[in-house]
Structure 1
Amino acid sequence: MRLFISALLLALRLVAAEDGSAAWLRYAPVPHAANTSRITPSEIVALNSTKSSPVYTAGQELQRGIAGIFGRKLNVSAQASSALSTIVVGTLETFTDAYGDFDEAEDLEEDGFFLCATGDKVVIVGQNERGALYGAFEYLSRLAQGHISSVSFISNPSAPIRWTNEWDNLDGSIERGFAGPSIFFRNGFVVDNVTRVAEYARLLASIRINGIIINNVNADVQVLSARNIEGLARLADVMRPYGVQLGISLNFASPEDFGKLNSYDPLDPKVDAWWANVTNQIYAKVPDMAGYLVKANSEGQAGPLTYNRTLADGANMFARAVEPYGGVVMFRAFVYDNHINETDWKADRANAQLEFFQNLDGKFNDNVVVQIKYGPIDFQVREPASPLFSALHHTNTAIELQITQEYLGQQCHLVYLAPLWKEILEFDLRADGRPSKVKDIVSSERFNRPLGGYAGVVNVGTNSTWLGSHLAMSNLYAYGRLAWDPSLESEAILQDWIRLTFGFDQKVLNTITDMSMKSWPAYENYSGNLGIQTLTDITYTHFGPNPASQDNNGWGQWTRADKFSIGMDRTVNNGTGNAGNYPPEIANMYENIETTPDNLLLWFHHVPYTQRLKSGKTVIQHFYDAHYEGSAVAQTFVKQWESLKGKVDMERYEHVLFRQVFQAGHSLVWRDSINEFYHNLSEIPDDLRRVGNHPYRLEAEDMRLVGYKPYSVSPFETASGYTAIVTTSNSSVGVATANITFASGTYDVAVNYYDLIGGKAQYHLEIGNRTIGAWTGDLEDKLGHTPSIYLDGHSATRITFKGVEVRRGNMVKITGQPNGIEPAPIDYISFLPPGIVD
């Protein structure tokens, strides 16, 4: 009977809709739960009675998890028990007080835990309260994945700092947030209802994140208002039971802009005293505040350089303020001049980190951590590891990773990021000719520093999926796992997440694993390869393609592409000298074009389009081929996900399918835009004659137009044939018709159009007087990416109607009803035979 009930529960769980809010903490029944529940302990002892304690939380979480997994509700007691069938969770101190000596005590480090599960006896001992909670989550994770076997081990963190950065603004918006408004702020103040914040702290604790910066690095001075400081206390109170410490970003100019001083000079005693006073006020309300995050003298932000002070002078001012409370200052190395001159062959934004920080090594206080983006530019699809990691031997460092996919598809494209991060973390910089992997530098092991660790830019919102996409949550999960133990393998982390999020079906596991592990290489192939960076629009939304935007501006993300050649010359011999910023062994590799890996060729070398790669292909042919290959992989994701229908609950199935269909279409926009741009620039043909040759397309501008007119799209390459059609006014209906010249048969009919923010145009497609489909340009309500008000690579999208019977000579008619600023724009219609992608 019990087995039947278990099977029934599993079946119900499969068909029940899930909105993603539980993420990987679903605690769904596991296969054969009825058979294994007999070896589950019969009670829980949480050696703490204070409800704000993470140990108390651990007891409640264990009760909740076992109820979900095994259908058994265990009692939780705060008193030590001699019963054999017990889960005991507590700190090292409380455990030894209750049960005597603990042999493994000396091996436990801060936040670490010991887990011993043998039959129905489970012991979870944390070095501190947070460690005890982490051990409880580890035990539940194993149970939730069906791992019931006996274990006994100690787990310690790789680094003490494992924080997230949230770029939330006080008005409730989120910079580079793709999942709705802020869970922390609304209308200038901390929110009153903090339930969602507590739920997020629980998620973070389950992956062993111990700190969170809640506001944008481009900080608003009003975060320091009395009302907001009270709000910070409210937030800290609900995160404290999960061991997650609150921190805030600061605006360097606050003493002047908020405090009404006439200066924000870090060496001015009045400024120093002002910050000390503000810090005292905050710690009076939040005594365990993690510390501050500071972005200074970058992208127009105020900072110490305004007063000819050093960045260390600025960081140390904050360090002095928080030092009495054990606080930490995370000081971003993202400092550069965004008005540099591209005509200067030696100019290079990638050198900025070294230029600003190298000579300050050893001058930062011990509670300052320099937070370094993983590459020298800005979260691109591929960058070399930042040389700054190997240059700071006497300074605490942390690596900054980006979970929110700012440059990598903004959660509308599947891109599993753990393999990218692993590549950086495992890279050996060979400082002083010795092993110097990035993971060992930021853990503080390599240079023996007191602090170090990880900062992940997450940007969760109020969307039930947290990040706007169910599959994107694998990146948040992987970030926490790698911050704790960077030796873990990307695929193993992914598969843990899949089992916890989607269950035990082997086809589901295999399919999502395959899709995810292919996703970063595919995105790199169709967005920007050979180290050229992500060829997105860097001056606008950072979402769609616009390779020309990289050059001829002061932002320094240049490609130096011209008619004959492409790439940044970063050699010492003839270029910007960036290669020489690395330790000699690495510098020599990057200096020499023969030893530079092809996937970083254009990062370090300026070459003709006809330069031969190690594969034998020319650079330009590799571009053409890679963009076709990458977009072809994106098409397979749709069919792979469709194969899981009935194996994933319908709510999540439909949600993911919608995004995979969008990605498949948008990858073609990327493919055609990048290939057409460089084909037009270089005038070198594609060996396979694909670029610019689309025999299955009917260009909208070539149709008979009534109420529509041709429109020259900018950038030109984001429209097939450089031209689209728009309605002649924003109040008149447009009609485009043509007679079909393709052979009679069954086709997938795809319409590429533009979906702008600021309007919801309506479309109606007919073939041979039959309605094929109707839709609304309302992706702004369905996708979280940064929208566009223009016809461009950000707003370009497609809709496909499958299995349409078409006869030669039929009239195809598309009607567009404009709305708002959206003039029902259409690029082309494709008639695709089965298995063909144009």
Structure 2
Amino acid sequence: MRICFLLASVGVAVAETGIDAWLRYAPLTGSSVVHSALPNNVVVLNSSQGSPVYTAGQELHNGIKSIFDKSTRVCYSKETKSALVVGTVAEYEKVYGALQNVPELAPDGFWLDTTGFNIQIVGQDERGALYGAFEYLSMLAQGNFTKVAYATNPAGNIRWVNQWDNMDGSIERGYGGASIFFANGTVVSDLTRAAQYARLLASVRINAVVINNVNANSTTLSAENIQGVSRIADVMRPYGVQVGLSLDFASPTEGVQNPVVHNLTTYDPLDESVVQWWTNITDNIYSIIPDFAGYLVKADSEGQAGPLVYNRTLAQGANLFAKTLEPYGGTLMYRAFVYNLLNESNWTEDRAKAAVDFFQPLDGQFMDNTVIQIKYGPIDFQVREPTSPLFASLRETNAAIELEVAQEYLGQQCHLVYLPPLWKTVLDFDLQVDNESSVVRNIISGQRFNRPLGGSAAVVNTMLTNNVRLGSNLAMSNLYAYGRLAWDATQEPEPVLQDWIRLTFGLHPRILSTITQMSMESWPAYLNYSGNLGIQTLTDILYTHFGPNPASQELNGYGQWTRADSLSVGMDRTCSNGTCYSGQYPPKVYEMYESIETTPDDLILWFHHVNWTHVLHSGKTVIQHFYDSHYSGAATAQTFVTQLASLSGLIDSERYNEMMYRQLYQAGHSIVWRDSVNDYYYNMTLIPDDHGRVGHHPWRIEAEAMALDGYRISGVALNETASNKSAIVTVSNSTTGIATHIIDFPSGRYDIGVNYFDLYGGVSNFSAYVNNRKLGSWQGNAEFTLGHELTYFLDGNSNTRHHFFDVDVKEGDELKIVGVPDQMEAAPVDYVVFLPVGSGIVD
């Protein structure tokens, strides 16, 4: 009996908000030949609504309709005519007979064959079949009609994302968007966005999402919220995405409102009442969510409760949860992010050593359904770190790498930073355990040490925005690439990026080449203007983790020290004279890092304490490398504006304007970064820049040098974060400020930048004039339009720039800046810069 339906299709959206990300399936022009060659029938070997194979059929039907305007019949039984067949190996062979010449498929793997009478999309399981459907649609959407026949299997069975969503609806490191899962202490009623998110994740083969913050709230485990989590699992299940939860270790003592447990006075992991408490919770979850993925635990770190409170080991703490999950096939992800506050005056103390110190002695003591989740470097998502030596230290314990899509220390998605080139420095690193090849990607897959579980987890800050899910269209490349690399870490960042570009913005060659160039240049540029030579990202680590504040690294217990003074800089992590962090690596890697001669320049300050005048392998001194790199990185960021401008008219206006807004912001903020870091170390060392740039800005008009009416001069939170160490603010929050200056630059055409401070707690209004000719107005409203951790202070987090391009200026004209304060924001201004158009002069 033939069961076929002509389904109603989802039309192509008119507005290009970015909400569909890389699943736009934009219409292809000139595809009539392909249109006629495509089968008219989609055979779906599972008619159960909600199954991933059923979803695959829907996706294929709608995708083909969207790309080619071709309607297909969806059938749930064998079709004698040519068809696009999607299903599991078992179901395919029931209907069509044995598959021929198909390699062995692992769980979630699939076979795609477009060479025969039928197009075969066959998964080892239902999730694999759905992945194959997305793969085929990705090819079609990119205009790739190649005849192919291949199988692909995942490198790791753990391909998870970690949300940092809080129960109140906020997101830690969420930067301006609300949670798609929670609000007001409970699960939201409308889970449309959660289902859309699951679709995106499935399309890049992510198989689980931990929906709440690792700094967990025990109320997540209330009866009401477990029911809510069940609803989330229901909307994600059709896409093969499982749901997991982060746990608060101390939950048994915190009065969870769940009838299956009662309040305890201890959370000791060896106490029988605690074991039973967690067993009851887990049994209850699986009774409601049978395919629950498992737990993620952050313990004994940054104030979080854990087993060390009771003098129990981390393995004993982890095994408490792993045992409750084991009967159900659930997985425990246990974060290796454990460290204590340290004393900087002790030369041998080193936070980078913490993970190995805590976990290596416990190797082999963790249950087989436990995976240790290890940050790629030993500190905390820095712009460059050496590979964590813990990957080499756990031979009898499952391991996964923890990456971060959220860009916590890396521009918070206000700066374009395409992260896979950074990730690949770790994934491709050979730790040479026992003098044998021990590449990190083969360790986390389980291959190197023959472990049953392994893979990847990424921190992702998906949020409830009206357009793109990460707040930035260009930042979505990192989520896409994460999924691709979690499946196969041997892939190179550039081809993966180009697939994303074609799917997201179309097939125009100029779009492809331009966004490729911008993205591939972005991490090196950010590295250069933030923190290079292994000194880490010099962000404000005590406050926002966003803007520059190198002073914040020192004189605290967090251990992200640079040990910089007027003569020298860098952490000595050698065994001969320092913390002996280098000794945590296998012998060959240790020997490379122990010697200053063989340590690569890009990690010299991570491993060695040297004079500012130390000569690098490049031939430059350390301080001159700082100066040059910060100028080079900021100069590259300026080109992103002009490169993107070349795409005007090729990308729809809504997404183009969103991207241009951020690229203009990055261009201005990269200058703040450049000057803040260079001035800080120049003032510390008094060593001049060989090229005379640092501290010398002849094309600037300092705001405090202007004639002020209603404005007054103000200091800033860190001297180096304002040009000439000061700014102007209005004399009260109800007084309009006017600053004027007679322009003494030669007559000509200029690009003008006004550096001002955009604070949280008010929206000031600014206007700029030349000879009473209004150049334009803008607002200090980044808290609503940009999305990063905001500040109440005049500092490197709030300093930014507004641009006016190609302005005709005559010597003797009057420049006027008018600022209208609002609430706590006193219309603060730093300086105005005039850059002659086409002169090559840079600020």
Q: TM-score, normalised by structure 2?
A: 0.97
Counterpart Cα distance in 2 of 1:809 and 1:102: 82
Counterpart Cα distance in 1 of 2:645 and 2:662: 12
Counterpart Cα distance in 2 of 1:34 and 1:178: 44
Distance 1:105 1:322, change over 3 A: farther
Decide which of 182, 185, 188 is 2:182's aligned counterpart: 185
1:816 maps to amino acid: G
1:217 maps to amino acid: V
Counterpart Cα distance in 2 of 1:357 and 1:228: 33
Counterpart Cα distance in 2 of 1:625 and 1:535: 16
Return 5+ residue gaps in structure 2 as ranges: 1-10, 256-261
Q: Which residue of 1 aligns with 2:210?
A: 213
Counterpart Cα distance in 2 of 1:436 and 1:803: 55
Counterpart Cα distance in 2 of 1:662 and 1:255: 46
- Could you list the per-position Cα deviations for residues 553-585 of structure 1 after superposition, in whole angstroms to 9, with x for gaps in the alignment? 010000001111100000000000000100000
Asked whether the equivalents of residues 65 and 71 of structure 2 are also in contact (C-alpha less than 8 Å), the reply is yes
Matches for 1:327-726 after TM superposition, within 5 Å: 327-337=330-340, 339-463=341-465, 464-726=467-729
Q: Which residue of 2 aligns with 1:4?
A: none
Counterpart Cα distance in 2 of 1:710 and 1:120: 78
Counterpart Cα distance in 2 of 1:105 and 1:244: 26
Q: Which residue of 1 aligns with 2:199?
A: 202
SS class of match (1:102): coil
1:102 maps to amino acid: L
Counterpart Cα distance in 1 of 2:110 and 2:592: 42
SS class of match (1:280): helix
Q: Which residue of 1 aligns with 2:3?
A: none
SS class of match (2:21): coil
SS class of match (1:828): strand
Matches for 1:767-786 after TM superposition, within 5 Å: 767-786=770-789
Quote how far apart the aligned CAs of 1:313 are. Answer: 0.2
Decide which of 169, 173, 193 is 2:170's aligned counterpart: 173
Decide which of 236, 257, 273 is 1:239's aligned counterpart: 236
Deviates more, 1:42-51 or 1:761-770: 761-770
Asked whether the equivalents of residues 179 and 467 of structure 1 are also in contact (C-alpha less than 8 Å), the reply is no
- Could you list the per-position Cα deviations for residues 162-198 of structure 1 after superposition, in whole angstroms to 9, with x for gaps in the alignment? 0000000000000001351000001100111111101
Return 5+ residue gaps in structure 1 as ranges: 1-11
Asked whether the equivalents of residues 103 and 151 of structure 2 are also in contact (C-alpha less than 8 Å), the reply is no
Quote how far apart the aligned CAs of 1:104 are. Answer: 4.8
1:51 maps to amino acid: Q
- Could you list the per-position Cα deviations for residues 460-491 of structure 1 after superposition, in whole angstroms to 9, with x for gaps in the alignment? 00122000000000000000000001111110
Q: Which residue of 1 aligns with 2:35?
A: 37
Quote how far apart the aligned CAs of 1:118 are. Answer: 1.9
1:318 aligns with 2:317: no
Asked whether the equivalents of residues 570 and 576 of structure 1 are also in contact (C-alpha less than 8 Å), the reply is yes
Quote how far apart the aligned CAs of 1:16 are. Answer: 5.1
Counterpart Cα distance in 1 of 2:409 and 2:338: 19
1:420 maps to amino acid: L
SS class of match (2:627): helix
1:785 maps to amino acid: H
Q: Which residue of 2 aligns with 1:758?
A: 761
SS class of match (1:107): coil
- Could you list the per-position Cα deviations for residues 205-225 of structure 1 after superposition, in whole angstroms to 9, with x for gaps in the alignment? 000000000000000000000
Q: Which residue of 2 aligns with 1:257?
A: 254
Q: Which residue of 1 aligns with 2:23?
A: 25
Decide which of 304, 307, 314 is 1:304's aligned counterpart: 307
Counterpart Cα distance in 2 of 1:104 and 1:207: 26
Asked whether the equivalents of residues 172 and 182 of structure 1 are also in contact (C-alpha less than 8 Å), the reply is yes
Asked whether the equivalents of residues 757 and 799 of structure 2 are also in contact (C-alpha less than 8 Å), the reply is yes
Deviates more, 1:27-36 or 1:128-137: 27-36
Q: Which residue of 2 aligns with 1:162?
A: 159
Decide which of 144, 147, 155 is 2:141's aligned counterpart: 144
Quote how far apart the aligned CAs of 1:785 are. Answer: 0.7
Decide which of 834, 839, 842 is 1:837's aligned counterpart: 842
Quote how far apart the aligned CAs of 1:121 are. Answer: 2.3
1:437 maps to amino acid: V
Counterpart Cα distance in 2 of 1:163 and 1:235: 16
Deviates more, 1:343-352 or 1:760-769: 760-769
Quote how far apart the aligned CAs of 1:119 are. Answer: 6.2
Q: Which residue of 2 aligns with 1:76?
A: 74
Counterpart Cα distance in 2 of 1:178 and 1:648: 25
2:772 maps to amino acid: N
SS class of match (1:827): strand
Asked whether the equivalents of residues 266 and 309 of structure 1 are also in contact (C-alpha less than 8 Å), the reply is yes
Quote how far apart the aligned CAs of 1:30 are. Answer: 2.1
2:579 maps to amino acid: T
Deviates more, 1:161-170 or 1:729-738: 729-738
Decide which of 287, 290, 311 is 1:287's aligned counterpart: 290
SS class of match (1:87): strand
Counterpart Cα distance in 1 of 2:14 and 2:769: 37
Distance 1:49 1:711, change over 3 A: same
Counterpart Cα distance in 2 of 1:284 and 1:95: 31
2:368 maps to amino acid: D
1:44 maps to amino acid: V
Counterpart Cα distance in 2 of 1:396 and 1:649: 46
Deviates more, 1:359-368 or 1:825-834: 825-834
Deviates more, 1:764-773 or 1:789-798: 764-773
Asked whether the equivalents of residues 33 and 69 of structure 1 are also in contact (C-alpha less than 8 Å), the reply is no
Deviates more, 1:221-230 or 1:800-809: 800-809
Q: Which residue of 1 aligns with 2:818?
A: 815
1:360 maps to amino acid: L
Asked whether the equivalents of residues 40 and 119 of structure 1 are also in contact (C-alpha less than 8 Å), the reply is no
Quote how far apart the aligned CAs of 1:31 are. Answer: 3.6
Quote how far apart the aligned CAs of 1:414 are. Answer: 0.4
Q: Which residue of 2 aligns with 1:9?
A: none
Asked whether the equivalents of residues 389 and 438 of structure 1 are also in contact (C-alpha less than 8 Å), the reply is yes
1:435 maps to amino acid: S
Q: Which residue of 1 aligns with 2:47?
A: 49
Counterpart Cα distance in 2 of 1:508 and 1:178: 28
Counterpart Cα distance in 1 of 2:502 and 2:389: 37
Counterpart Cα distance in 2 of 1:500 and 1:811: 49
1:689 maps to amino acid: G
2:451 maps to amino acid: R
Counterpart Cα distance in 1 of 2:245 and 2:76: 34
